[in-house]
Amino acid sequence: MNLSSSSPVKLNAKPIPSRPAATAVPFNGSQPQRILFGGGCHLRKVTNLSTTTTYFSAAKPVDAVVDKQQKKTESGSDGGPGRIESLSQVSGVLGCQWGDEGKGKLVDILAKHFDVVARCQGGANAGHTIYNSEGKKFALHLVPSGILNEETLCVIGNGVVVHLPGFFKEIDSLESSGVSCKGRILVSDRAHLLFDFHQVVDGLREAELAKSFIGTTRSGIGPCYSSKAIRNGMRVGDLRHMDTFPQKLDLLLSDAASRLQGFNYSPEMLKEEVERYKRFAERLEPFITDTVHSMNEAISQKKKILVEGGQATMLDIDFGTYPFVTSSSPSAGGICTGLGIAPRAVGDLIGVVKAYTTRVGSGPFPTEILGKGGDLLRLAGQEFGTNTGRPRRCGWLDIVALRYCCQINGFSSLNFTKLDVLSDLPEIRLGVSYSQSDGTTIKSFPADLRVLEQIKVEYEVLPGWQYDISSIRNYSDLPKAARQYVERIEELVGVPIHYIGVGPGRDALIYK
């Protein structure tokens, strides 16, 4: 797979011998003639990677570091299970880019070592794809990704917005596939209800914005959070008071009709919704609880809690590429506000980052690969939305954005996903710095969209590897170029990469 017109960078070291379990599998597709980068780019080729003096600041050679790591893994002191068991009582898995990094898979793997898996924000716009031990695929949206582990309790916290028709559809699908949900899911009485009309409003709002549309999933997330913010929203706890439910829903629907042309509201609509939600209320009752109390009781009882983030930091309402963001806080702060957990209780946070970058919808994307190059990467990585099937925009890994996310969240480690997708590339590029048109370096990820649209990206070019690595399970067995790519990222962002995904399955994970 060739995503660049530049000549490939050559390793000065000896070629890696072929392995029977990791034969080269080239990707299909036509060769692109050129690649365009958002705002232009500078290239800095790294042509001598055989010693650490080229770009590694560590005193020891790469092979020595790998050998030391391999010994740790073989001794069991630093292997996967040992590392997972050592995670804090309250740990979290959060996205580092614009979502779709593969958070669900890591949560599913970690869940068997935790008593509780909790969602703290977002709604059914979070699509997490996971696989069970038989390889059966599950696409989850509201239900936490710990549901496939029978001993795990799943919590939908107060910061989540809940679309009940979708929630019950998801439960029915899980139950029909043999996954028991009874007594295993708790829904916060403080969580806000997302109605079908919120989805209608979402579409109307996007139409109003015309060429400036956000590119939402039209799941109604933004309008529901808007209702919450202007304080006329309805919460799960309101389902316990059906005597006042109609009046509150009437106020909500009337407000939407007064604000948006094209939103048709009638007494019949209200009557139908009330009858519908009477049935939902009866079915949901066994799930409803005060999750703030439940979570803090679990903490006091020394139970282990894993928080599953939806979306990612670059979509954060405060820290993302506003206004092309989600309506909640998928960064570390959302854990406390979305679950009622004290900040001092939160320990290890694992950031999930894809080996390249993708985003869905509108908004600036500095390292985007346009044209056939982006199409090729999209097909190789099967980059299509879990919820909508929309093709994702694809680009090189953006180190500036990643470092920014690490600063905001204070990650203790990273999960590096989809490294296998980069196999068979002659070279790989890392967006290592930004500069303005006058050459001035931008030290952090800027808030100003005009600046973002005009920045130039400086790239480091590293060698690729001509091997299918999807069957590799030990870090030391990866091609040297793949290891150097991982270690260069560690050096640039200052956070260790402990987990490396090389495929979609549960077992396709390397512990580093």
Q: Is 47 annotated as a binding residue?
A: no
Q: Is 99 annotated as a binding residue?
A: yes
Q: Is 222 annotated as a binding residue?
A: no
Q: Is 319 exposed, middle or buried (0-12, 13-18, 19+ CB in 10 A)?
A: buried
Q: Is 505 annotated as a binding residue?
A: no
Q: Is 420 annotated as a binding residue?
A: yes
Q: Is 373 annotated as a binding residue?
A: no
Catalytic pick from 78, 108, 128, 202?
Answer: 128
CA distances (Å), 302 to each of 149, 163, 416, 427, 438, in order?
Answer: 20, 32, 29, 48, 55
What's the sign of the alpha-carbon dihedral 365, 366, 368, 370? positive
Q: Is 262 annotated as a binding residue?
A: no
Q: Is 101 annotated as a binding residue?
A: yes
Catalytic pick from 163, 192, 228, 354?
Answer: 228
Q: Is 231 annotated as a binding residue?
A: yes
CA distance 54 to 488: 11
Residues 73, 76, 80, 86, Cα dihedral to 10°: -120
Residues forming a β-bridge with 120 = none
Q: Is 105 annotated as a binding residue?
A: yes
326 with 221: CB under 8 angstroms? yes
Q: Is 386 annotated as a binding residue?
A: yes
CA distances (Å), 227 to each of 58, 132, 195, 491, in order?
Answer: 52, 37, 11, 44
Q: Is 92 annotated as a binding residue?
A: no
Both structure tokens of 358: 């993708």
Which amino acid is present at 342? A
Active site residue 372: no
CA distance 354 to 397: 8
Both structure tokens of 484: 């150097």
Q: Is 391 annotated as a binding residue?
A: yes
With H, G, I as helix, E, B as strand and everything else as coil, classify residue 372: helix
Q: Is 217 annotated as a binding residue?
A: yes
Helices vs strands, H then E, count in the chain: 14, 21
CA distance 423 to 19: 14
Q: Is 392 annotated as a binding residue?
A: yes
Active site residue 448: no
Catalytic pick from 78, 100, 238, 468?
Answer: 100
Q: Is 291 annotated as a binding residue?
A: no
CA distance 298 to 115: 9
Q: Is 449 exposed, middle or buried (0-12, 13-18, 19+ CB in 10 A)?
A: middle
With H, G, I as helix, E, B as strand and everything else as coil, classify residue 475: helix
Q: Is 306 annotated as a binding residue?
A: no
Q: Is 390 annotated as a binding residue?
A: yes
Active site residue 100: yes
Q: Is 387 annotated as a binding residue?
A: yes
- Those residues with Cβ within 8 angstroms of residue 341's Cβ, 6 or more apart along the chain or in another chain: 90, 295, 296, 299, 305, 335
CA distance 478 to 21: 11
Q: Is 418 annotated as a binding residue?
A: yes
CA distance 161 to 362: 23
Q: Is 128 annotated as a binding residue?
A: yes
Q: Is 127 annotated as a binding residue?
A: yes
Residues flagged as binding site for substrate = 386-392
Residues flagged as binding site = 99-105, 125-129, 217, 231, 311, 326, 386-392, 418-420, 501-503
Residues flagged as binding site for Mg(2+) = 100, 127
Residues flagged as binding site for GTP = 99-105, 127-129, 392, 418-420, 501-503
Residues acting as catalytic residues: 100, 128, 228
Residues flagged as binding site for IMP = 100-103, 125-128, 217, 231, 311, 326, 390
